[in-house]
Amino acid sequence: MKKCNNCGAMMNEDAKFCTNCGAAFTETESNQNIDTSENSNSDANENQTSQMVQNVSNAVKSVEYDKVAKGYWKYFLMTLKNPSTSFTVTDKINGWIQFVLIAILNSLVSVSILTIMPTTESGIGLFFKLFFVQFIINVAVIGILFIFKNFVQKVSTPFNVVTSQYGGLLSINIILLLIVFISALISPIAMISIIMVGVVLVGIVNVIAFNMYLLNGKNNSKLDNFYVAVLANAVVLIIIAIITRIGMEMMIDQMLPYMFNQYMY
């Protein structure tokens, strides 16, 4: 179809004049109308192609997310049932999902318990602070395991694989933290016994998993796995001591002005 420049009526492409107003079509007008039609068709095709690409992209992302979720669920159930199978894991994603969930649950438990203290900060701000601290601690522990695995035991293992293998040993902590969190939601005071037992068990699992990863793993060095584990624990204790000292100094710095004001006035 082409458009009459005189009255705007739409005519067939082979029309020589406008049947509405009688104006004759020149060759230039015909070519312009053909070009306009071709451009319109081209734009329409580009829009359809763009929409199709977007739809395919969304579908691929949906499939990828679904694949990741199913992969993690399979990884979680496998390592929960048989934690020792963690040493056979070679994927590079599930471990990070595991530690993010552990940090989230740890933070939720801490917030639920701390909210009963009137002088303690509460809300989403406290949650994100605790989550950040928990995640950094987890990454630091993974870093220690990575260093000892690759440079002391001389077993080449990518950082992400160490994360997934070590994370698999901590699958039981997901269940324990869920129990503690639910107990804290019901009543932090009435359920204090369950909460304390759960928290202690989580700590024990962390220690066992850390040492089991070094003791049961492959070792290409002359240093026995037992001494490798002793050295790794010594490094962790030194780091804990440094962090504790810094934390106590910060606490004292914050408390001194308050104590000075109390005794002076």
pLDDT digits over 179-210, tens only?
Answer: 999 998 888 888 889 999 999 999 999 999 99
Can you tell me the distance from the alpha carbon of 169 to that of 116, in angstroms, rounded to the nearest whole number?
Answer: 32
pLDDT at 71 exceeding the cut of 80: yes
What number is the average pLDDT over the span 155-160? Answer: 93
Rounded Cα distance between 253 and 262, Å, is 15
**pLDDT at position 61 over 80:** no
Under a CB-based contact definition with an 8 Å cutoff, are residues 194 and 183 in contact?
yes
List % helix, strand, coil for the chain (3-state, nearest 5): 75, 0, 20
Q: Judge whether residue 34 has pLDDT over 50.
A: no
Quick one: DSSP state of residue 115? T
The answer to whether residue 37 scores a pLDDT higher than 90 is: no
Buried b / exposed e over 26-59, threshold 16 CB at 10 Å, is eeebbeebeeeeeeeeeeeeeeeeeeeeeeeeee
The percentage of residues in the chain with a pLDDT greater than 90, rounded to a whole number, is 46
Q: Which residue has the higher pLDDT, 115 or 163?
A: 163
Quote the pLDDT of residue 158: 94
CA–CA separation, 126 vs 115, rounded Å? 10
Distance of CA 198 to the CA centre of its chain: 25
Q: How confident is the model at residue 26, as a pLDDT?
A: 67
User: Strand runs (DSSP E) across the chain, as ranges?
Assistant: 2-3, 10-11
What is the overall mean pLDDT for the chain?
81
The residues, any chain, with a CB within 8 Å of residue 121's CB and separated by 6 or more, are 114
What's the token pair of residue 40?
Answer: 């319109």
